Structure 1
Amino acid sequence: MTCGCFGASTIKRRRSPTHNPNEVYGVALDNVKNFSDKELRLATDNYDSRKKIGRGGFGTVYQGTLRDGRQIAVKTLSAGSRQGVREFLTEIKTISNVKHPNLVELIGCCVQGSNRILVYEYVENNSLDHVLLGTRNTGRKLDWRRRSAICIGTARGLAFLHEELVPHIVHRDIKASNILLDKDFNPKIGDFGLAKLFPDDITHISTRIAGTTGYLAPEYALGGQLTMKADVYSFGVLVLEIISGKSSSRANFGGTDKVLLEWAWLLHVEGRLLELVDPEIGEFPEEEVIRYMKVAFFCTQAVANRRPLMSQVVNMLSRKIRLNENELTAPGFFQNSGESSRKDLSSGSTSNQTLSLPPTITEVNPR
């Protein structure tokens, strides 16, 4: 009888194969939950239009509430992927391993049939685009302290993607609508890594085409040269938006057809840079704000090799330093007509330029 008991026990163990409940199509999603379509429809009231909180080139975003009360943001991807399900899930698994305070956390996904749905943490204060460039809400005023923190936090998130993460991620679409703000207005970069999931020709589709175009580095927009320096350029434009409270999609600054970056550079040349500052900021430290704008110019130089690394940008923004303006050259501009308003980007001497900016970009003030 004893042997029979042991035998029965042995048979039972053999009939219980190891199974990962969060494995989908052979891909173990260790850090993200595999949601069912039913769960997400329930959370979003069947994707009710009143739950819609955003829309862009990658899809529509809905606010949702899980059965346990947790708030989520559900992004239904609108563009078809060239990848199969397993390849798609493998990319999602890679993105889910990326953790940083200034990056939106991916907490789950849903892959059923042709559906591709991503589930993110819910970020309370919507996007920077909504708060800064949309209808002004006096209850969510962005003073200089908050704007400065948004600039530095976004720079840190990009520096992590570019320099600390392996393999590195180039975002491709840094803009105000992709910077989300939590309850304390801390910035979180969204949609990082998604460009890898779709064909190159749709990575910049947006409901605000002009707005997205306003962020594009000329060498990327005109020649398809994609490096992390394209993100640096976009970040520079973003800083000018944060300081001015104006959209880069406008092209009538100063009563001319100049875009934001072009107008800001003209004010810099004429020594009138403070005229760009948003009156909504209130009181602000003039020297610091001017330094931030000059950092934006370093980020948007026409020749990509002259732009700093994002780790250098973090240093320039967060420390009281004197910028070496002898290293600063004019920005490059991309117009909707498809032509740059500056001379050929390949012109000029670049013999002593490398991928890393020369160390003379900044000089530390003596104590």
Structure 2
Amino acid sequence: DVAIQKKDHDRRRNFLVEICMLSWLPHPNIVRLAGYCADGDHRLLVYENVQLGLLKEHLHDSAPDKKQLDWNTRMKIASEAAKGLEYLHDKQQPTVIHRRINCSNILLGEGYQAKLSGFSFAKLGPPDGKTHVSAIFERNYGHQAPEHATICEVSVQTGLLSVKSDVYSFGVVLLEIITGRKDIRNSKGGEESSLIAWAKPLIKDNKFSEMAYPALQGHYPATGLKQAVLVASTCVQKQPHTRPTMADVVTSLTYIAQGKYDSVTHALHNSVLNDGN
């Protein structure tokens, strides 16, 4: 069985980038490309079958009678998505910067195994000795790192791109997994509010229980919730150099799954110190 994704409105270059990236990145937490088809403006990507669909559907679009993700499953998905990003950042030469980490680009296979997809905007990282590369940024709403968030009238901005941009986006996804809220929500008055803006005062006041997805009905470890929010909070720091590496995010989420909560703070603290800033 396979899954087919239409890319009718994708640029030819982006379509080729995704084919090349997925053909080059074998990892259990990155979706496997089974084939592709291009005919004029119509383009198809054929993936391995991801039986459970998009993470977005389980967090935001699920029907009222659909089974909700429990706490352990949520942390499993977060940890595996983090492992996929760690592979891109640390196990590849040159580094791969995904640039579009969000709940629509995380697919769920059998047993809720998380698999990264959506590589059409991916970019190879900087050569040795460099910290960033230049890139054109397009609006990506609440997942976009603040260093790229100033959007001009034509909705593009030239700026600096690094792996810490992906870390920020992952932090937003982790908050979505924890809270069940969307990255951007529209109020009744039509105004947009971001998940980050909603979360920051609750984190500051240590109101972690108010951040848990209500459908969990308290079925989660209180310390585990607090530490998961801590991980997300460090990922979405405004300054890139204060964000952890994905390797330390993976370590921290693994500790949370094992109940080793004291080790989480230690791992994140060392990550920022070792960044050299």
TM-score class, shorter: 0.7 to 0.9
Q: Sequence identity, in percent?
A: 33
CA RMSD across the alignment: 3.0
* Structure-2 residue corresponding to 1:272: 207
Distance in 1 separating the partners of 2:96 and 2:142: 21
Q: For residues 91 and 168 of structure 1, what CA distance do their matches in structure 2 show?
A: 15
Per the alignment, residue 243 of structure 1 pairs with 178
Partner of 1:81: 12
Counterpart residue number, 1:263: 198
Corresponding residue to 1:217 among 145, 148, 155:
145
Closer, same or farther: CA 358–136 of 1 in aligned 2, 3 Å: farther
Equivalent-residue separation in structure 2 for 1:91 and 1:185 (angstroms): 23
Query: Which residues in structure 2 correspond to 1:12-161 (within 5 Å)?
Result: 70-82=1-13, 88=16, 92-161=19-88
Cα displacement string for residues 163-183 of structure 1 (whole angstroms, at most 9, x for unaligned residues)? 112232111111111111113
Is the Cα contact below 8 Å between 1:292 and 1:317 reproduced in 2? yes
The change in CA–CA distance for 1:147 and 1:139 in structure 2 (over 3 A counts) is same
After the TM superposition, which parts of structure 1 deviate over 6 Å for at least 4 consecutive aligned residues?
none
Describe how 1:217-366 pairs up with structure 2 within 5 A.
Answer: 217-222=145-150, 224-250=159-185, 258-282=193-217, 283-319=219-255, 320=260, 321-323=263-265, 357-359=272-274
Q: How does 1:167-186 map to 2 (within 5 A)?
A: 167-186=94-113
1:97 deviates by 2.3
- Residue aligned with 1:296, SS: helix
How many Å apart are 1:114 and its aligned residue? 4.4
* Structure 1: runs of 5+ lacking an equivalent: 1-69, 206-211, 328-355, 361-367
Partner of 1:341: none
Map Cα deviations across residues 315-354 of structure 1 (whole Å, 9 max, x no partner): 1111121416996xxxxxxxxxxxxxxxxxxxxxxxxxxx
CA distance in 1, matches of 2:233, 2:148: 18
Distance 1:80 1:138 in 2: 38
* Residues paired across the two proteins, number: 248
Name stretches of at least 5 consecutive residues in structure 2 with no aligned partner. 124-134, 151-156
1:266 and 1:119, CA in 2 relative to 1: closer, same or farther beyond 3 A?
Answer: same
CA distance in 2, matches of 1:273, 1:106: 39
Between the aligned partners of 1:297 and 1:214, the Cα distance in structure 2 is: 14
Matched, 1:195 2:143: no
- TM normalised by structure 2 equals 0.79
CA distance in 2 between counterparts of 1:242 and 1:182 reads 17
1:138 is displaced (CA, Å) by 3.9
Q: How much has 1:286 moved relative to structure 2?
A: 0.6
Does the aligned pair in 2 maintain the 1:72–1:121 contact within 8 Å?
yes
| TM-score, with length taken from structure 1 | 0.61
C-alpha offsets along residues 216-272 of structure 1, whole Å, 9 cap, x if unaligned?
A: 1010222632211111001101111111111011165xxx97522122110111121
Q: Is the 8 A contact 1:77 1:116 kept in 2?
A: yes
Q: Tell which structure's C-alpha radius of gyration is larger.
A: 1
**CA gap 1:117/1:308 in 2 versus in 1, 3 angstroms:** same
Q: 1:120 to 1:304 in 2, by over 3 A?
A: same
Distance 1:182 1:225 in 2: 34
